Chain A
Amino acid sequence: MDSRLRGNDIIMRFWNPIIISYKNLMATKLRSFLTILGVVIGVASVIIIMAVGRSAQALIIDQIQGVGSNLIAVLPGASNEDGPPASVFGIAVTTLTYDDLQAIRNSRRLPEIEDGAGYVSGSVSISYRDSSVNASLTGTTASYLNVEDSEIGKGRFFTEEENLNLSRVAVLGNQVAKDVFGDGNPINQRIEIGDQNFQVIGVFEERGSSAFGAQSQDDSIFIPLKTAQKNILGINHLGFIRLKVKSPDLIDSAKAGTVTILRDRHNIKDPTKDDFSVRDQASALETITTVTNALRYFLLAIGSISLIVGGVGIMNIMLIAVSQRIREVGLRKAVGAKNEDILYQFIIESATVSFVGGVIGIIFGVLISLIIALIGQALGYEWPLLISPVSILIAVVISIGVGILFGSYPARKASKISPMEALRYE
């Protein structure tokens, strides 16, 4: 026997049962359709859940990164890495100052830092002529524009001299400008913040809201940091500092350098007594990724249940098929089929059913994921369509696996039937 024929043998060993199962499936179309449907729903839901989960995760991470992945935040008050800083709970911590900011910006030991900005915030009412509007107030340094990558639409941003001179100038967020001035030109108009006169020198471009953390620039009014501290809020400390690092891979060394400088300035020897905390996006991203991953796997587990239900459907149908085709089994055995021949025939048959269901399920799963992505995009989200080839491969393997797993019991049952009893069966 030559090897070519042996190769043929292996192909035929699988090909014959596939042809046989195709014929049997076509003979009972509705039943086959319903069996396959169970697998289709299972596989499709797994693919949809995996795709939607990944897309939602990508959307969330993208939003966080949109805030700036090369930013470090320095917050007053100690906190461990995972918990929120004290200031979140409304406790005013006064340990961070403008001099700290200047020390970090000007330090020769921190070449990684490109720029930094200090922030204080409050809530104020803005009056123009007879109308007044409530807005959030941000006092910041001239470096704000560079650190936050913001752009001025009209006029200009204030300078560092204006900050140091406690100038009463204001830059309006896009929405605030519309609320106060309508369609009019705000530049060089005088407004009242609290009971003090300010000159409007600029208006920001519209920026849109970011999903996490930072309050919207559009709804805020910006004045020089020192002016806000002395004239409006009556404080000396900073709410927080943001540092812009030259590139994301320098974040860790920039954080370490910042910590060293601040401990030095605050005379802290024991790291557990830190009166500040340094954060970056990476730790937030890590937390979010952990949470969203957990959600994804949870959803995947639910999707897998429908796949198991589909498998039970296959088992049910195969058991019926075995008892309906008991005479066929008897005949095949009478003409020389061994027990394992019958076993393979039925296993391949159920694997074929689940494979076909798997392929159709993949097609539906991809289509529905695509539709969900299109709807998401139509609603204005940057919803990416993320279907990994790996998830499709897994779906195919799992669907065949389900067929083999749930088909093996009926197949074993069929293979054990004695030929004599099978032929006698009416």
Chain B
Amino acid sequence: MSNLIKTKNLCKTYVNGEVKTNAVCGVSFEIEKGEFVAIMGPSGSGKSTLMQMLGFLDRPTEGDYFFEDRNVVGFSDDELAKIRNEEVGFIFQSFNLLPRTTVFENVELPLLYFKNRISKKETERRVFEALKAVMMEHRVYHYTNQLSGGEKQRVAIARALVNNPELVFADEPTGNLDSKSGLQVMKILQQLNDSGKTIILVTHENYTSQHAKRLLKMQDGVLVSDEVIKNRLIADGESGLIK
């Protein structure tokens, strides 16, 4: 079976006047379909930059990035937008929901940019399915500013799922949440992984990273370790306890 993601010597260098900063350098690894990978490191370690490159939000300055055996380094803005639109879902620390809009409008957003637009009926079916997966179907027509932080993040997860992506990126998804809501989110991510989705989780918390199956540790822009997590934590969002 081929790899979902394969990177070779991935580098991102920022040039600020005379000073060159290597945010990420020489990172090579492979991720297969169905994995749950946590990328961990302190702030400034380059983990966010790595995720942005893996998530097609940014281009590497050096190296190769194969996604489903396609080298995407030379892809145009529009080609990258198409991959983000059809094959990837994003969950952010600060939710990034649109203000003054309903839950429905936020979740349907990726579908609005589909190249071949789907019918209104199909859009509704998908939005409700995604909201059901995060137990938010009772809030479909609420405005996003009426929701709690945990609810907002669940809506954001629904938005990441609505295009039925292969790969879901979660960038510090529990960072702005209380521990109970955070566990709920981790539980949903684990359930998604159980159903076959590949999850890449970026976090600086050791505790959160222990919910994944594999741990990549970053420091000073370099990959320092790559190990399988033994005794991974299983989140139980209902009780807030860990089994």
Which A residues are closer than 8 A to B by beta carbons? 1, 5, 8-9, 12, 16, 23-24, 26-27, 327-328, 330-339, 341, 418-420, 423
Contact = CB atoms under 8 A, between A and B. Distances in A.
Given A9-B117, A327-B96, A338 B78 contact: yes
Contacts of B101: 23
Question: Per DSSP, are chain A's interface residues mostly helix, strand or loop, or mixed?
Answer: helix
A336 B117 contact: no
A118 to B, nearest CB: 83
Given A420-B52, A420-B57, A337 B81 contact: yes
Nearest to B97: A331
Contacts of A419: 57-58, 84
B86 A336 contact: yes
16 contacts: A9-B117, A16-B112, A327-B96, A331-B96, A332-B109, A333-B84, A334-B55, A335-B85, A335-B163, A336-B81, A337-B113, A339-B78, A341-B113, A419-B57, A419-B84, A420-B52
B96 A418 contact: no
Nearest to A415: B77
B159 interface: yes
Contacts of A328: 98
Nearest to A26: B100
A9 B113 CA distance: 11
B82 interface: yes
Please give me the 6 A-B residue pairs with the lowest Cβ-Cβ distance, nearest first. A336-B85, A336-B113, A335-B110, A420-B57, A420-B58, A338-B81
A11 to B, nearest CB: 11
Choose among A26, A332, A336 the residue with the greatest number of B CB atoms under 10 Å from its CB.
Answer: A336
A336 B56 CA distance: 10
Interface string B23-40: 000000000000000000
Nearest to B78: A338
A217 B93 CA distance: 91
A339 B80 CA distance: 11
Nearest to B86: A336
A12 to B, nearest CB: 7
Given A335-B90, A336-B82, 12 more contacts: A1-B116, A5-B119, A27-B99, A334-B55, A334-B84, A334-B96, A335-B85, A335-B113, A336-B84, A336-B85, A338-B82, A419-B58
Contacts of B119: 5
A229 B40 CA distance: 118
Nearest to B96: A331
Interface in B69-93: 77-78, 81-82, 84-86, 90, 92
Chain B contact patch, size range: 20 to 34
A339 B78 CA distance: 7
A372 B124 CA distance: 54
A419 B58 CA distance: 8
A134 B130 CA distance: 100
A339 B77 contact: yes
A27 B110 CA distance: 23
B113 A338 contact: yes
Contacts of A16: 112
A8 B92 CA distance: 32
A333 B88 CA distance: 12
B57 A335 contact: no
Nearest to A16: B112
Contacts of B78: 338-339
Nearest to B109: A335
Contacts of A331: 96, 98, 109
A335 B156 CA distance: 11
Nearest to B101: A23
Contacts of B96: 327, 330-331, 334, 423
B26 to A, nearest CB: 21
Contacts of A12: 112, 117
A335 B90 CA distance: 8
A150 to B, nearest CB: 74
Contacts of B55: 334
Nearest to B81: A338
A5 B117 CA distance: 8
Contacts of B84: 333-336, 419
Nearest to A4: B119
Nearest to B160: A335
Contacts of B81: 333, 336-339
A366 B112 CA distance: 40
Interface-central residue, A327, A332, A334, A338, by most chain B CB under 10 Å: A334
Contacts of A332: 109, 113
A328 B98 CA distance: 7
